[in-house]
Amino acid sequence: MPSLIDLRRRIRSVKNTQQITKAMKMVSAAKLRRAQEQVLASRPYASLLSDVLNSVLSSPGGKEGFDHPLLAVRRPKKILLLLLSGDKGLCGGFNTNILKEARLFLEKHKDVEVELELIGKKGRDFYARRDYPISGEWVNVFSKVEHSTASDIATKVSQRFADEEIDAVYLLYSKFVSAMTQTPTVVPLLPFSADESSEETSEFIYGQTPEKIFASTLPRYVDIQVYQAMLESAASEHSARMAAMEAATRNAGEMIDTLTLKLNRARQASITTEIIEIVSGAAALE
């Protein structure tokens, strides 16, 4: 049975850990609030931009009379996967779920060559030890998600696709649903194709030709999709860390209660033993 000193040390250690996890939970909650506001504010713009491009492609003559490099459909021989993971740990199963989804994607496309564009330190560390081609690394970008970073990634990806170095581009990120729910999501990024489920073409009237619209809007669409995915991933990471630290704080409290009970029982046993020794000694002197 542990001594009283050992139990007191363990209780003090767990209390210190509980203070750290409680502080990390509060920090993550504050960061999540800002990240959630950014995600919700950017979703309407990204959705409307997609609707505009869908309407142009779905309109009469929208697919005829012009050709854009980012619309080229080729037989996929080389695929690029933009993998968004976290830069830090201590966030429950957030990174594990993303890496698991990436493994499923690689198994599904094992018949073609897949390159990885790794955004986030955890994904970089995981695949740096494995035999997969890595086309680029972007680490320490989620502490403050900046549009310029997303723009650099989107420009690189678009240029490689236009130069026919890759035949398709996919985004893998954790979609923010709520503070308690994050869903690993894979979406095709390039080539852009019209969404068959949306047929709202009559709401838009354009004064320019489809060629001019796509020349200015399609690169911006790729830019915004990458930026939106980064915002979603950052919000998901903060929410997962907040939930993990809340669970850790609760578990630390339960451990403190258990150790305190053991400490009280040990003290009681020690006092009882001392009383018995005193009574026995007094009885021996009579």
Q: Write out the catalytic residue numbers.
A: 91
Cα torsion angle, 148, 204, 41, 89, sign: negative
**Residue closest to 117 by CA, chosen among 92, 85, 140:** 85
263 Rama sector, left if φ>0, alpha if ψ -120 to 50, beta otherwise:
alpha
**Residue closest to 99 by CA, chosen among 111, 110, 86, 108:** 86
d(CA 243, CA 266) in angstroms, rounded, equals: 35
Q: Quickly list H helices, the chain.
A: 4-58, 94-108, 121-128, 147-162, 210-285
Q: For 248, phi and psi rounded to 5 degrees?
A: -65, -40
d(CA 140, CA 120) in angstroms, rounded, equals: 7
d(CA 91, CA 248) in angstroms, rounded, equals: 11
| Beta strand 134-138 pairing with 168-178 | unpaired
d(CA 55, CA 203) in angstroms, rounded, equals: 9
Give how far Cα 251 sits from Cα of 242, 243, 244, 268, Å.
Answer: 14, 12, 10, 26
d(CA 219, CA 69) in angstroms, rounded, equals: 10
Task: Note whether 14 and 255 are within 8 A (CB).
Answer: yes
Cross-strand pairs, 96: none
For the chain, state the CA radius of gyration: 28
